[in-house]
């Protein structure tokens, strides 16, 4: 890409400037100008996302997870919207206390307990790590201690469940809707605070983007890396904790509820716990790598991340376990093994694809991929100050199969979670439908950015690797 004055070009290697650093301000991350379509999408999402979450959870609570029955009930006049609303549990002091304790505990683990896992776990990268260079040229340092937070939290959970009995392991399920209101309060509070902060005391004013459109800025965020103090990073905290640490606990709570209601935990529930548990542990094991993903490198912190991490993720990513409490499914051994294999193969593709790119980029191509030296396309881009950078796009290993085979693996795993629930209802399939839309959109968004960044080099790359997700199809 040569969108900026070539005359002053100075040449540099990509290695010292990780993951897209130095791209022009004009093409970095989210838009500077808002078109009508983007604004309409933002307004749609701001209005309907909270309703979607409520609708899903309410339909499990009141209609045994049927998405159609509430609509039919209202259309036939058997129920009014007010009846449904009146039957919905309200915010309770108990839920508020649980939620405050939960978030406070996670904040304390995040800021007060420096990572010790990297000292004894071989291969694990934790402790203080650097993120990618931001558009304004800042390199933030992060305390990577998510794995430790996850281990401590889960150890306490099990000690409680099997020894101390301070609270019931079904506590999350039993307070699920009152907790939804708490999660919403936090989600809106943190997004609003982030917006106000970006006007009054931004962490790095040069990394703020103001479009002038209040709704768009609220949703997509203004500040790139809002922080309180030196270490409390909003993106890292809210992306990983409290939502993703909670994900596995929520699933345990569902399993405990099945045990309480039916005297046993079904193999489908065990599969959901195991497969999603691997995904969550993978996330924390690779938290340092996560600093180089699109969420941290390109997205600003607004409602999309703030509310999304507090509400959307813990409530909608865990729908399979919730469904299985209402509809316990005992899979045949063949089906259970088939689903387990699909989930594990998906996970393997997801992990190996991400690992191959990480290794390739870290070593500047001086590594082995599938036992051979990787093949790649040399590419260059020019930053806003006219500096020319060099980078490489790998075309071997999984990156030679498709341009986003990591997403394909992720989608296979997502499908496996859903299949554990059988075919009686559509609700548990929301996850694969949503992930397909999310990752396809993300793929197109990322390719648009890469095409602007690398220009003709990107064209050479797409000619060498013509498909995005599934070879021969898309
Ligand atoms: P990627 O890890 O795929 O990163 C894309 C970037 O990689 C591009 O912008 C480009 O950056 C670089 N790149 C692209 N092609 C190549 C290549 N051939 N060789 C070397 N570098 C290349 O994207 P994400 O950050 O979106 O995803 C990370 C993981 O997180 C994925 O596995 C995804 O499935 C998962 N994910 C899960 C979500 C969930 O909710 N469960 C949500 C989102 C993601 P550059 O500018 O440096 O060239």
Element spanning 62, H or E: helix 36-63
* 93 occurs within a structural domain: no
Ligand 1 atom at shortest distance from the alpha carbon of 292: 25
- Residues 79 and 161 placed together within one structural domain of the fold: no
Which residue's alpha carbon is at the smallest distance from atom 34 of ligand 1? 407
Provide the domain count of the chain.
Answer: 3
Give the per-residue pLDDT at 16.
32
Q: Which domain, by its residues, includes 375? A: 353-473
Which residue's alpha carbon is at the smallest distance from atom 16 of ligand 1? 393
* 47 occurs within a structural domain: yes
CA of 434 to the centre of ligand 1 (A): 18
Give the per-residue pLDDT at 31.
58
* 418 occurs within a structural domain: yes
Residue of 283, 349, 365, 410 with the most ligand 1 atoms within 8 Å of its CB, for mutation: 410
Give the per-residue pLDDT at 34.
77
Give the per-residue pLDDT at 18.
35
Q: What is the 3-state secondary structure (H, E, C) of 321-384?
A: HHHHHHCCCCCCHHHHHHHHHHHHHHHHHHHHHHHHHHHHHHCCCCCCECCECCCEEEEEEECC
* 30 occurs within a structural domain: no
* 341 occurs within a structural domain: no
Exposed/middle/buried for 160, CB within 10 Å: 0-12, 13-18, 19+? middle
- Residues 447 and 311 placed together within one structural domain of the fold: no
Which residue's alpha carbon is at the smallest distance from atom 27 of ligand 1? 293
* 391 occurs within a structural domain: yes
CA of 185 to the centre of ligand 1 (A): 31
Ligand 1 atom at shortest distance from the alpha carbon of 313: 40
- Cα end-to-end span (Å), the chain: 26
- Residues 47 and 144 placed together within one structural domain of the fold: no
Give the per-residue pLDDT at 446.
87
- Residues 65 and 125 placed together within one structural domain of the fold: no
Place of tokens 């990107």: 458
* 4 occurs within a structural domain: no
* 300 occurs within a structural domain: yes
Residue of 375, 450, 469 with the most ligand 1 atoms within 8 Å of its CB, for mutation: 450
Q: What is the pLDDT along the chain (474 residues), one digit of tens a residue?
A: 222 222 333 333 333 333 333 333 444 455 566 788 888 989 999 999 999 999 999 999 999 999 999 999 999 999 999 999 999 999 999 999 999 999 999 999 999 999 999 999 999 999 999 988 887 788 889 999 999 999 999 999 999 999 999 999 999 999 999 999 999 999 999 999 999 999 999 998 888 989 889 999 999 999 999 999 989 999 999 998 889 999 999 999 999 999 999 999 999 999 999 999 999 999 999 999 888 887 788 889 999 999 999 999 999 999 999 999 999 999 999 999 999 999 999 999 999 999 999 899 989 999 999 999 999 999 988 876 777 888 899 999 999 999 999 999 999 999 999 999 999 999 999 999 999 999 999 899 889 989 988 999 999 999 999 999 999 888
- Residues 268 and 144 placed together within one structural domain of the fold: yes
Contacts of 291 (CB under 8 A, 6+ apart): 129, 130, 131, 132, 142, 144, 236, 297
């Amino acid at each position: 890409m040569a969108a900026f004055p070539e005359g002053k070009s100075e040449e540099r290697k990509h290695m010292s400037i990780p993951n897209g650093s130095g791209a022009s301000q004009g093409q970095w991350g989210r838009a500077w100008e808002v078109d009508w379509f983007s604004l309409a999408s933002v307004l749609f999402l701001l209005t309907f996302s909270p309703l979607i979450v409520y609708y899903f959870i309410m339909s499990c609570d009141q209609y045994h997870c049927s998405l159609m029955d509430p609509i039919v009930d209202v259309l036939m006049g058997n129920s009014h919207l007010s009846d449904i609303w009146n039957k919905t549990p309200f915010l309770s002091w108990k839920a508020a206390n649980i939620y405050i304790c939960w978030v406070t505990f996670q904040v304390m683990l995040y800021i007060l307990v420096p990572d010790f896992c990297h000292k004894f776990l071989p291969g694990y990268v934790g402790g203080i790590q650097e993120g990618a260079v931001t558009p304004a040229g800042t390199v933030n340092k992060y305390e990577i201690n998510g794995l430790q937070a996850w281990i401590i939290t889960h150890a306490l959970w099990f000690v409680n469940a099997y020894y101390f009995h301070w609270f019931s392991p079904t506590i999350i399920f039993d307070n699920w809707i009152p907790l939804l209101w708490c999660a919403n309060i936090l989600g809106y509070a943190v997004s609003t605070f982030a917006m106000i902060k970006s006007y009054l005391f931004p962490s790095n004013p040069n990394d703020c983007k103001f479009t002038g459109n209040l709704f768009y800025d609220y949703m997509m965020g203004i500040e790139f890396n809002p922080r309180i103090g030196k270490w409390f990073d909003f993106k890292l905290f809210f992306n990983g904790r409290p939502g993703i640490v909670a994900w596995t606990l929520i699933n345990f709570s569902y399993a405990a509820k099945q045990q309480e209601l039916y005297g046993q935990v079904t193999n489908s529930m065990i599969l959901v716990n195991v497969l999603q548990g691997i995904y969550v542990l993978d996330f924390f094991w690779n938290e340092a790598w996560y600093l180089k993903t699109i969420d941290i490198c390109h997205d600003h912190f607004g409602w999309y991340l703030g509310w999304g991490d507090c509400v959307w993720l813990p409530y909608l990513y865990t729908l399979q376990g919730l469904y299985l409490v209402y509809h316990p499914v005992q899979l045949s051994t063949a089906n259970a093994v088939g689903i387990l294999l699909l989930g594990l193969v998906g996970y393997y593709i997801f992990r190996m694809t991400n690992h191959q790119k990480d290794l390739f980029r870290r070593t500047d191509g001086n590594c082995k991929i599938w036992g051979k030296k990787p093949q790649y396309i040399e590419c260059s881009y020019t930053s806003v100050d006219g500096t020319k950078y060099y980078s490489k796009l790998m075309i071997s290993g999984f990156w030679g199969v498709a341009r986003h085979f990591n997403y394909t693996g992720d989608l296979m795993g997502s499908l496996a979670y859903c299949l554990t629930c059988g075919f009686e209802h559509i609700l548990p399939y929301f996850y694969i439908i949503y992930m397909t839309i999310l990752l396809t959109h993300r793929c197109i968004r990322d390719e648009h950015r890469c095409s602007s960044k690398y220009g003709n080099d990107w064209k050479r790359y797409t000619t060498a690797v013509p498909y995005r997700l599934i070879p021969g199809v898309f």
